Amino acid sequence: MYRTHNCGELRMDNVGQTITLSGWLQASRDFGGMTFIDLRDRYGITQLVFNMEDDEALCNQARKLGREYVLKISGLVRERTNKNPNRPTGNIEIEVKSLEVLNAAKTPPFTIEEDTDGGEDLRMKYRYLDLRRKKVQDNIIFRSELAIETRKYLANKDFIEVETPVLIKSTPEGARDFVVPSRMNTGEFYALPQSPQTFKQILMVAGFDKYFQIVKCFRDEDLRADRQPEFTQIDCEMSFVTQEDILNTFEGLTKHLFKTTIGVDLADFPRISYDEAMEKYGSDKPDLRFDMAFTELNDVAQQKGFSVFDNAELVVGICATAQANAYSNKDIKALTEWMQQPQIGAKGLVYVKVNPDGTFKSSVGKFFSDDDLKVWANKMNAKPGDLLLILSGETEKTRKQLNNLRLEMGRRMGLMKEGDFKPLWVLDFPLLEWDEESNRFHAMHHPFTSPKKEDVDRMMAGDHETMKSLRADAYDLVINGSEIGGGSIRIHDRALQSRNFDLLGFSKEEAADQFGFLLGAFEYGAPPHGGIAFGFDRLCAVLKGQSSIRDFIAFPKNNQGRDMMIDAPATISAEQLEELALLLQKKEVER
């Protein structure tokens, strides 16, 4: 037997008991006559004591042990004279009577502490050591708890968890698929699912009524820091529901998760339309921990002789409360340059400072009188001491630029407070999005999303321009500026689905080849249905107030899609390629 207790559970009640513990040597302190060892496991840390006077041989053995050695000890629980109130086991210690080294350990390449000295690459390679750090381990345990609470809530609401297949069929719509060559059907490939979308719809056609799954999904995309080639979704679908039913159910789930895992009570979630979100925040995932909403100034800033504004499609600004004094000319210049970086691409930045005496200081002072600026300030609800920041240009671009500026000002002003959570439903997304580059429509959500009921006739019969104005029963859940989930009411009518495939540029053959089973299913009694999927990795990170999803994945891949620990992907054998009837293209010689 390796232990009678774990390293986190002994208390004053256990004093006098003879116990056995196993764990890792976290730290040791040698005071000549006495040696202390902190023994660690998942559950906590317990202090061990070795005394020269009691057992010299044992004490000498203990002094030689290094960090991360795996030990099994037996001994007597006793009260500590020097208690440690910061540790749950801090009132007791173990007078060790016997010691067995279960495994030795080389010196770890970085310290197993809250703040380690190891760089990211090193920690990824030795992920088994990185995962010993309490912070990282806590994240993974938190993820496990979040999954438990998710399942508890959904099972209570009659949702059934159904496993959908991982080996499916490649469909070019959307992101790039990972594919899996078939040995039994050479020349053919499976694909890994980007989501179980069509399967969950099939489950609705099959009458499962309420489906969910916490499920791995796969996208072969060029990776950014917060993307992973495999990621996890809370995937849901419901039959005989309207958008309102879905919003209520998953607002309920979100509140449940916040309450049970981090003890936060969320108020009812505000809702805004996609159009309003773009107008007020220049983003379909605004961070509402602070307001600083956009004010459009065309009616008061144009036709006053400032040609930059006069020629702009949109003049729009934000009011940074009490920031007038915080920004010197030099600061404004730096902020302007920040806005001009290629990733943002603003041409310039106009500022107006509202002085305490009612006057104004502005970079466009020669074009506008104080009376003009006063109109702006009023329109933006500015008070003395506030700083107005104004951009102009083409509507969509300018809004995106101002979104960047708003978020940057929020950061600088400390308005993104830890522990503050501001969820938001964004509704009424456009159904289709015209892509100038490829000269075709893309599905804004995905090809199975239904237009709003009142837009169905226009969609079936309308012209090209009409299509751009169609609105969908599609919705996103946004928390603190992160998109946590999105979903839609789906099409359940074959003719409407076919029309959507047409609009998206599928030929009849392509539609039949890729989604024939779904079109077929719609002919055999498909119920009205809709659903949503939450990004589980992102949800973990947002709940814990962290920015990287990678810290919530036990074995993440790096930006090159590589698992640094096992060193994958890797070459495979000639026999494997032969069995799959595959040849590798010769790489071009690099110069």
Q: Least separation, in Å, of the C-beta of 220 and its own copies?
A: 6
Round to whole Å and give the CA distance between 487 and 493.
18
Asked if residue 160 binds its own copies (CB under 8 A), the reply is yes
Q: Which stretch binds its own copies (CB under 8 A): 45-53, 75-83, 229-237, 347-355?
A: 229-237
Minimum distance from CB of 89 to its own copies (Å)? 16
Give the nearer residue to its own copies in terms of CB position, either 147 or 344.
147
Shorter beta-carbon distance to its own copies: residue 83 or 183: 183
Q: Decide if residue 157 touches its own copies (CB under 8 A).
A: no
Q: Is there binding between residue 114 and its own copies (CB under 8 A)?
A: no
Near its own copies by CB under 8 A: residue from 33, 121, 167, 341: 167
Return the number of the residue (67 or 271) whose C-beta is nearest its own copies. 67
Query: Is 206 among the residues that bind its own copies (CB under 8 A)?
Result: yes
Does position 230 bind its own copies by CB under 8 A?
yes
Radius of gyration of the CA atoms of the chain, in A:
30
Residue 429's SS3 state is coil
Question: Which lies closer to its own copies via its Cβ, residue 206 or residue 308?
Answer: 206
Report d(CA 580, CA 190) in Å as an integer.
Answer: 12
Site for its own copies in 72-101 (CB under 8 A): 72
- β-strands 92-103, 230-239 pairing: unpaired
Under rule CB under 8 A, residue 521 binds its own copies: yes
Q: Which residue in 188, 331, 337, 502 binds its own copies (CB under 8 A)? A: 188
Task: Tell me if 132 contacts its own copies by CB under 8 A.
Answer: yes
Residue from the set 16, 32, 187, 263 that interacts with its own copies by CB under 8 A? 187
Residues 6+ apart with CB under 8 A from 499: 459, 460
Distances 552 to 101, 141, 214 between C-alpha atoms, Å: 32, 9, 15
Among 31-39, 240-248, 430-438, 445-453, the segment contacting its own copies (CB under 8 A): 240-248
Near its own copies in 6-65, by CB under 8 A: 6, 22, 24, 40-43
d(CA 173, CA 166): 18
**Are 47 and 89 a contacting pair, CB within 8 Å?**
yes
H helices present in 419-507, as ranges: 456-461, 464-468, 494-503
Calculate the dihedral angle through the C-alpha atoms of 526, 530, 533, 539, rounding to the nearest 10 degrees: -150
How far apart, in whole angstroms, are the C-alpha atoms of residue 426 and residue 445?
A: 13
H-type alpha helices, 231-312: 243-262, 274-281, 298-301, 307-310
* 229 near its own copies (CB under 8 A): yes
Q: Which of 208, 338, 367, 434 binds its own copies (CB under 8 A)?
A: 208
**Interface with its own copies includes 512 (CB under 8 A)?**
no
